[in-house]
Every structure is written in structure tokens, then in C-alpha cells.
């Protein structure tokens, strides 16, 4: 029987295919809880989970909080405007102070890539990554895998196109790690200014010169937002030109396989990376991704609580 | 707490008698017991009206299917069957020990006002039943919950007893009672391991 032995989930890169399969199976079976009248199980009763969000978030924070509450854990939310970080406290000091209050899990989002590895060294509780800089966003990666697996019944052999700002996207990195481990074929497209050098090292991915090439006969088209807040300088002339070359619309969606899934990690800039016709169209699975997010995060919190010390 | 309900898929026949394994019931013995339990369920509830069978994963869920089949033969009416996975309701979830995989709970109907017959293969400490009852309560308020088990091996740690029992087997704590299922998930044998 498969066992999940990790105390922390910081990156899908650190997990094996078996770990990912177990998390997805648990999430699938936990979904039933979310459709009941009484949406709660007593599993993590008495556990305290701190949501430490140094970056803005609606979806992920709410989703993690709901996930924790449905497992009967107690949650505390800390955001930058109300935390001591604004008074100059370092992450390590914040962590040690929080640890003194005996939390069981710290769920953190941080603007610095790798901040979670630093945090995990400082604390004895579990650390779950809710997004770190341009590194990884494992819960989003897992919910993307679950949404695809639901629809196709498998992940093996799927052609998945990821289009947009690959350089600044932690979702893209988690998706690439997860998908290549599960046997899917990943095709990347985006403006050359937003394509990281040596991206092939992340896994067996194919970098395409044009968007058309990437989405041709794709089973899944994953669109990404332009992360202007992370881009140091201008990487594209303007949004209209970007939209023309790398935007998804009903016309170029026809290049993908009939009934291909359209996905987006959100938040969406309508009219830039995707036209509203596609966002609200029948092939869009964007809200399904959000729905699966709760079950996936429940599975993550459940399994890290049983993880061994690392 | 569920060690006694280990599920095995066998394509060949289980050894009927070795030094460590004793067969307590064979296939026809199990069948007769299940038919008797079906009659008892019908007698107690005066038919199948509002009766629902819920099996505890995984052995109990297979037995619930068998009971439903024989009730349908006796009464001519089908009873709804569901299954419950108790992993998330266990009382022995520990830190720093890998958490067990979660199985599927399939209760596709409301339990409000229904007579629920909870089905398990082996009744031992009663902790599994406690967990299953807590899980059922989260699906609505049944009129009553009755318990049907194929084997009652004693050693209760909670005030729980079965309403319908296939066979009472006095055991020592060192022994293990197992219901063995074939590849079609039909009960095949009950064995006592020393």
C-alpha cells in the first residue's frame, strides 16, 4: 500500500509519481464531503493551521482555509498588512514566533522563490507551499492534474499546451513537474522574452516557436496570465499585440482536438490571454479547477499531517 | 482496528487447513448465514420499506451487495445499497505515521428517516462501527441504525452489539479472523489465523 511520507509539500519536483497518485486518489475520494449537507469530517480535529500569505490571494487562501475547516482543523490567517513583516521582522523570526504558538501546519505564500525551504529548516511543523515567487505552486499543479484526470480518465499520453508567461509562472513549473511525471507531453509557447532559457531541464517539454504549433491537436490548452507584477521591464509591446499572437480565441481553439479542455489558473485578464467567448465557453473547465482545489488541498493537509520528520 | 477485515483477491483456493489457519466457514456456510440474516432483516423491519444497506469498506461493502441480492430474491423488491469509508473518522489517526489512503464513500441518497442496516464482515473492538456511525450521522438523521456482521469475534472496547450475526466465534487476542473474498468480491471463506 502506498504511503505518503513527506512532512512538507514545497514542490512537485520533490514528490514521486506514486506520491502524486496517492494525493490525487485521496482528493478524488474527499470530494464527496464537499457535496454533503454537513461538509465536515473530524479528521484533523485539534490541529492548528496558520495561513501565512505575504502575497495577495483570493482563491488559494480561501480554498486552503475551507479545506482546513472541512477537516475540522483550526485556522488563523495572517496577511502582510496586518503582520509584523511591515515592521521589519525577518521571515525566520516570524516563523519562530509563530512556532512558539504550536501550529501543526504553516501554509505560506511568499514572493521569494525557495522561501519555503528556508522556512522548513527553521520550524518543526509541516510547511505547505501556496506559491513561492516564480518557483512552484504545488496545490495548483495537483488540482490541474485532477481536473484533467477527471475528464480523460488518465494523464498518460495527453498533449498539454501551456501558453503565456512561462518565465514568471510558478503554476507552469508545477504543471510541468506534475504532468511529465505522470506521462503527459507538455508543449510550451510564449513570447521569447517570457520563455526561460534551458526550460527543457524541468522535464521532457517541447518549446514551440508559435502558439499554433503548441495547441495543434492538444488535449488540454492551459493559458497563463501575464505576471506584470513580477516582470522587471517591459517584455511585450502592448496587451493588444500579445493577445493577437498568444491569446486564445474561438478561432485558434479549433486547432486543438475537438472538445479539448481549456484551463486557466486565474485570475484571468479577459481579452488579453483569453477572449470571453472561450472563458465562458463550453470547453472551459476553469471553475471546475477551483472546485477541485478544495479537495486537493484537503488531501495535502491530511497527508502532511501523517508525514515523518525530515 | 481494521486489520481483521483484510481483503484478499485469490485466484486459487486458500489452503483449507495448515498449522496456523483454520477454516471457520466455507462458501455454502457463508451463503446460508447471509440468507438467514436477510430473512431476519426483513422480519425485523417488516419488509424493505425505508430500509437501506450500507457496507463498511471494503469487506462490509461486498457483503452488503450479497445481502441486497438475497433480499431481492426473497422479497422481490430491491433495497438501496451504499458504502462508507471510515478512514477520516478513525480514532487512531496519529502524527508522524503515514495517514492511510482514503477510500470512496458512496451514499447517493439521503438517510433522513431511513432504517439503515450497517454491514461489516468482522465485529471486533467496535471502534470501526463507532467511526461508521459518526460518518452516517453526517449524511442525515436516520430513523435507526442496525448492525449486521458475518462474524462476531468478541473483545469489544465500546458499548456496541450487533443486531444480526452470521456466527459468534470466541477468539483470543492473538488470533485474527479474516473473511476471504474471491476475484468477483464474493465471500469465499472465513479463516482463523493463529
Per-residue pLDDT at A18: 95
Q: Determine how β-strand A261-263 pairs with β-strand B115-123.
A: unpaired
Considering only CA atoms, give the Rg of chain B. Answer: 16
Higher pLDDT, A73 or B5: A73
Q: What is the Cα–Cα distance from B132 to B162, expressed in whole angstroms?
A: 14
Q: How confident is the model at residue B12 (pLDDT cuts 50, 70, 90)?
A: very low
Output helix, strand, coil percentages for chain B, rounded to the nearest 5: 25, 30, 45
Q: Helix, strand, or coil here: B21?
A: strand
Residues A201, A206, A208, A214, CA torsion sign = negative
pLDDT at B8: 47
pLDDT at B97: 78
* Distance, CA of A45 to CA of A70 (rounded, Å): 10
pLDDT by residue (tens digit) across A31-57? 999 988 889 999 999 999 999 999 888
Q: What is the pLDDT of residue A153?
A: 96
Whether the per-residue pLDDT at B110 is higher than 90: the answer is no
Average pLDDT, chain B: 88
Q: Which domain holds residue B11?
A: 3-88+104-193
DSSP 8-state secondary structure symbol assigned to residue A195: S
For testing contact with chain A, the best of B95, B103, B104, B132 (most A CBs within 10 A)? B95
Which residues make Cβ contacts (< 8 Å) with residue A244, sequence separation at least 6?
A: none
What is the Rg, in whole angstroms, of the alpha carbon atoms belonging to chain A? Answer: 19
Residue contact A3–B138, C-beta within 8 A:
no
If DSSP states are collapsed to H, E and C, what string results for A115-135? HHHHHHHHCCCEEEEEEECCC
- The three grid cell numbers given for residue A206, joined into one nine-digit string: 517541447
Q: Which residue of A has its CA nearest to B98?
A: A306
Under an 8 A CB cutoff, do A36 and B96 touch? no
Max Cα distance, chain A (Å): 56
Name the residue in chain A with its Cα closest to that of B138. A38
Residue among B89, B94, B102 minimizing CB distance to A29: B102
Residue B15 clears pLDDT 60, i.e. is over it: no
Residues A150-191 pLDDT 10s: 999 999 999 999 999 999 999 999 999 999 999 999 999 999
Is B95 within a domain? no
Query: Domains in chain A, start-ordered, CATH in brackets?
Result: 12-136+291-305 (3.40.50.1370), 138-290 (3.40.50.1370)
Q: How far apart are CA A77 and CA A107, in angstroms?
A: 10
Measure the CA dihedral B29/B31/B36/B38, to 10°.
160
Residue A174's nearest CA partner among A218, A222, A206 is A222
Which CATH number fits the domain that encloses residue B173?
Answer: 3.40.50.2020
Alpha carbon separation from A245 to A158, A239, A252 (Å, rounded)? 24, 10, 10
Residue appearing with cell numbers 516582470: A231
Q: Of A25, A303, A309, which is closest to B96 when you measure between CB atoms?
A: A309
pLDDT at B95: 67
Among B88, B97, B134, beta carbon nearest to A306 = B97
> Is residue B77 situated within a structural domain?
yes
Contact yes or no for A43 and B89 at CB 8 A? yes
How near does any CA of chain A get to the CA of B171, in Å?
Answer: 28
Q: Do B98 and A3 touch (CB under 8 A)?
A: yes
The count of CB pairs under 8 A between chains A and B is 65
Coil/strand/helix, residue A108: strand
- Average pLDDT (B160-167) is 95
The predicted model scores a pTM of 0.90
Chain B residues whose CB is inside 8 A of the A299 CB are: 102
CB A106 within 8 A of CB A95: yes
With H, G, I as helix, E, B as strand and everything else as coil, classify residue A241.
Answer: helix
B73: Cβ contacts below 8 Å, ≥ 6 apart:
none
Of A195, A151, A152, A150, whose CA–CA distance to A176 is shortest? Answer: A195
Place of cell 493588444: A240
**pLDDT for A232:** 66
Known catalytic residues of A are: 59-60, 87, 109, 137
- Would you call B193 helix, strand, or coil by DSSP? strand
- In this complex, is the C-beta atom of A72 within 8 Å of any C-beta atom belonging to chain B? no
* A chain contacts of residue B140, beta-carbon cutoff 8 Å: 37
> Could you tell me where the DSSP H helices lie in chain B?
27-45, 59-75, 127-137
Looking at the 3D structure of chain B, how many domains does it have? 1
Q: Is the peptide bond before B87 cis (omega within 30 degrees of 0)?
A: no
Which residue of B97, B101, B140 is in closest CB contact with A22?
A: B101
Looking at the domain assignment, is residue B175 inside a domain? yes
CA angle A136, A142, A146 (to 5 degrees): 155
Indicate whether B96 belongs to any domain: no
- Give the model's pLDDT for residue A310: 58
Average pLDDT over residues B108-112: 88
Nearest by Cα to A310 from A124, A129, A91: A124
Q: Which of A84-98, A183-197, A256-270, B36-50 shows the lowest per-residue confidence on average (mean pLDDT)?
A: A84-98
Selected residues 45-104 of chain B with any CB under 8 Å from a CB in chain A: 85, 88-89, 93-104
| Res B17 pLDDT > 60 | no
Question: 10-29 in A: which are within 8 Å (CB) of B?
Answer: 22, 25-26, 28-29
Q: What is the mean pLDDT of residues B76-86?
A: 93
Which band of pLDDT confidence, cut at 50, 70 and 90, is reported for residue B98? Answer: confident
SS3 A21: helix
> In chain B, what is the straight-line distance between the N-terminal and C-terminal CA atoms, in Å?
17
Considering the domain boundaries, does residue B99 fall inside one? no
**Please, are residues A81 and B126 in contact by the beta-carbon 8 Å criterion?**
no
3-state secondary structure of B168: strand
Q: Looking at the DSSP assignment, which residues form a beta bridge with residue A263?
A: A222
The full DSSP string for B73-86 is HHHSS---EEEE--
Contact assessment for residue B124 and residue B155, using Cβ atoms and an 8 Å cutoff: yes
Partners of residue B109 in chain A, C-beta under 8 Å: none
What is the pLDDT averaged over residues B79-100? 87
The reply to whether B146 falls in a domain is yes
* Inter-chain touch A302–B99, beta carbons under 8 Å: yes
Choose the closest CB to B138 out of A3, A38, A309: A38
Confidence grade of residue B2 (pLDDT, cut at 50, 70, 90):
very low
SS3 readout for B104-160: CCECCCCCCCCEEEEEEEEECCCHHHHHHHHHHHCCCCCCEEEEEEEEECCCCCCCC
Q: In A, residues 32-71, which contact B (CB 8 Å cutoff)?
A: 32-33, 36-38, 40-43, 71
For A17, A62, A112, A195, A227, the CA distances from A235, given in Å and listed in that order, are 35, 32, 21, 11, 10
Q: What is the DSSP letter of A51?
A: E
DSSP state of A164: S
| Burial of A197: CB neighbours in 10 Å, binned 0-12, 13-18, 19+ | exposed
Task: From chain A, pick out residues whose CB is under 8 angstroms from the CB of B101.
Answer: 1-2, 22, 25-26
A153 sits in the region (left: phi over 0; alpha: psi -120 to 50; else beta) called left
- Across the interface, do B138 and A41 touch by the CB < 8 Å criterion? yes
**pLDDT for residue B108:** 84
Q: What is the ipTM score, two decimals? A: 0.81
Asked if residue A194 lies in contact with residue A235, where contact means CB atoms within 8 angstroms, the answer is yes
Amino acid at each position: 500500500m502506498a504511503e505518503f511520507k513527506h512532512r512538507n509539500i514545497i514542490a512537485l519536483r520533490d514528490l514521486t509519481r506514486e506520491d502524486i497518485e496517492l494525493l490525487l486518489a485521496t482528493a478524488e475520494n474527499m470530494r464527496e464531503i464537499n457535496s454533503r449537507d454537513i461538509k465536515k469530517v473530524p479528521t484533523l480535529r485539534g490541529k492548528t493551521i496558520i495561513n501565512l500569505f505575504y502575497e495577495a490571494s483570493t482563491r488559494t487562501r480561501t480554498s486552503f482555509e475551507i479545506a482546513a475547516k472541512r477537516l475540522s482543523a483550526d485556522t488563523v490567517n495572517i496577511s502582510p498588512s496586518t503582520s509584523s513583516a511591515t515592521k521589519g521582522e525577518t521571515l525566520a523570526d516570524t516563523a519562530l514566533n509563530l512556532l512558539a504558538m504550536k501550529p501543526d501546519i504553516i501554509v505560506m505564500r511568499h514572493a521569494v522563490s525557495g522561501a519555503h525551504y528556508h522556512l522548513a529548516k527553521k520550524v518543526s511543523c509541516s510547511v505547505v507551499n501556496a506559491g513561492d515567487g516564480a518557483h512552484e505552486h504545488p496545490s495548483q499543479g495537483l488540482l490541474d492534474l485532477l481536473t484533467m484526470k477527471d475528464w480523460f480518465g488518465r494523464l498518460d499520453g495527453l498533449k498539454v499546451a501551456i501558453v503565456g508567461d512561462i518565465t514568471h509562472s510558478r503554476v507552469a513549473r508545477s504543471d510541468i513537474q506534475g504532468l511529465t511525471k505522470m506521462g503527459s507531453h507538455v508543449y510550451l509557447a510564449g513570447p521569447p522574452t517570457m520563455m526561460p532559457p534551458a526550460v527543457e531541464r524541468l522535464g521532457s517539454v517541447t518549446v514551440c516557436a508559435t502558439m499554433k504549433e503548441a495547441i495543434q491537436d492538444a488535449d488540454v490548452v492551459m493559458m497563463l496570465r501575464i505576471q506584470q507584477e513580477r516582470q522587471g521591464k517591459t517584455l511585450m509591446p502592448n496587451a493588444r499585440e500579445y493577445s493577437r499572437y498568444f491569446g486564445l480565441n474561438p478561432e485558434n481553439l479549433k486547432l486543438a482536438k475537438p472538445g479539448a479542455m481549456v484551463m486557466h489558473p486565474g485570475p484571468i485578464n479577459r481579452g488579453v490571454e483569453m477572449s470571453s467567448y472561450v472563458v465562458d465557453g463550453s470547453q472551459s473547465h476553469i471553475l471546475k479547477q477551483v472546485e477541485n482545489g478544495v479537495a486537493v488541498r484537503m488531501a495535502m493537509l491530511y497527508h502532511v499531517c501523517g508525514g515523518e520528520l525530515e | 482496528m481494521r486489520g481483521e477485515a483484510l481483503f484478499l483477491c485469490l485466484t486459487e483456493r486458500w489452503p483449507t487447513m495448515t498449522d496456523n489457519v483454520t477454516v471457520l466457514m466455507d462458501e455454502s456456510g457463508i451463503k446460508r448465514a447471509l440468507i438467514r440474516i436477510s430473512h431476519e432483516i426483513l422480519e425485523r423491519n417488516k419488509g424493505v420499506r425505508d430500509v437501506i444497506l450500507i457496507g463498511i469498506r471494503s469487506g462490509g461493502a461486498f457483503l452488503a451487495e450479497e445481502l441486497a441480492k438475497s433480499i431481492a430474491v426473497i422479497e422481490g423488491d430491491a433495497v438501496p445499497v451504499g458504502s462508507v469509508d471510515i478512514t477520516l473518522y478513525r480514532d487512531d489517526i496519529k502524527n508522524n505515521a503515514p495517514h492511510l489512503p482514503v477510500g470512496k464513500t458512496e451514499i447517493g441518497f439521503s438517510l433522513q428517516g431511513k432504517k439503515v442496516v450497517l454491514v461489516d464482515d468482522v465485529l471486533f473492538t467496535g471502534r470501526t462501527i463507532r467511526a461508521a456511525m459518526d460518518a452516517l450521522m453526517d449524511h442525515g438523521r436516520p430513523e435507526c441504525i442496525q448492525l449486521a456482521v458475518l462474524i462476531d469475534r468478541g473483545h469489544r472496547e465500546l458499548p456496541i452489539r450487533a443486531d444480526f450475526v452470521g456466527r459468534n466465534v470466541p477468539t483470543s487476542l492473538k488470533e485474527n479472523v479474516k473473511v476471504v473474498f474471491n476475484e468477483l468480491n464474493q465471500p469465499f471463506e472465513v479463516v482463523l489465523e493463529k
